[in-house]
Structures are given as structure tokens and as C-alpha cells.
């Protein structure tokens, strides 16, 4: 849906409308992560940048003819959560078949070390 399809009786023109966001998200809970962790209703995005955060009315004024409007229907938007943070490569190295106990008393000699290493070699 575009801004023009919102059945507005009067299109709002503003000095900010020249920003022409690609998308605005309205009717949501936008976690701003500012010093007070304030919550806004709407956010405007252009490319990969947030160009505005505020009330529904403020952000709708930024929308242009081709701006996609997303009704969040009360959903929450949180910034920057894009990393599962699993460290799977480290997890894999700590589990069999790569896990190898080289500590005492398991390894008491070079022969023990060679035997342990050869037990996991492909």
C-alpha cells in the first residue's frame, strides 16, 4: 500500500516530504534505544537508513507518492538485532569429533599425544 492509497482526504505536504522515504512503518512500538529507551509510533526508512522516528502523523507527512506504508498493527520494531550470535564454528570445535583432551592425566607422553591425535584423524 502506498501513502496515496490510505484514503486520506488531504495529502499532507511538508518541507520534509522531499526526503521521500522508501517505506514508513506506522501504528507500531518502535524501540528507539535512545538514552530513555523511548517508544515511538512510527519510523521512516530510505535505502538502509532510518531517516525519521516519531508519531504516526509526523512520519506519514514524510511519505511520498511511491512510499510503501506498512501498518505494524501494534507490533514492536527493535533495531540492530540481526545476529544469531551462535559462534557455531567454535561450537563445532568443542564437540566430537574435534574435541580432544590433551591434558594430564589423559596425556602422559608423546606416544599418548600421537595416539590421541590419530584417533580423530580422517
Domains, the chain: 3-77 (2.30.40.10), 88-120 (no CATH)
Strand partners, 55: none
> How many Cβ atoms from other residues are within 10 Å of residue 116's Cβ?
14
| Cell 550470535, residue located | 85
- Residue 21 confidence class, pLDDT cut points 50, 70, 90: very high
**Structure confidence at residue 25 as a pLDDT band (50, 70, 90):** very high
Model-level pTM? 0.55
Amino acid at each position: 500500500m502506498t501513502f496515496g492509497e490510505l484514503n486520506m482526504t488531504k495529502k499532507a505536504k511538508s518541507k520534509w516530504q522531499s526526503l521521500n522515504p522508501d517505506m514508513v512503518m506506522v501504528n507500531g512500538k518502535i524501540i528507539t534505544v535512545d538514552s530513555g529507551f523511548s517508544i515511538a509510533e512510527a519510523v521512516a526508512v530510505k535505502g538502509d537508513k532510518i531517516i525519521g522516528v516519531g508519531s504516526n502523523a509526523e512520519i506519514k507527512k514524510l511519505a511520498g507518492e511511491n512510499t510503501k506504508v506498512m501498518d505494524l498493527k501494534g507490533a514492536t520494531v527493535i533495531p540492530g538485532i540481526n545476529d544469531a550470535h551462535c559462534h557455531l564454528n567454535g561450537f563445532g570445535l568443542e564437540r566430537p569429533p574435534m574435541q580432544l583432551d590433551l591434558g594430564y592425566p589423559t596425556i602422559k607422553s608423546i606416544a599418548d599425544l600421537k595416539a590421541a591425535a590419530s584417533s580423530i584423524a580422517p
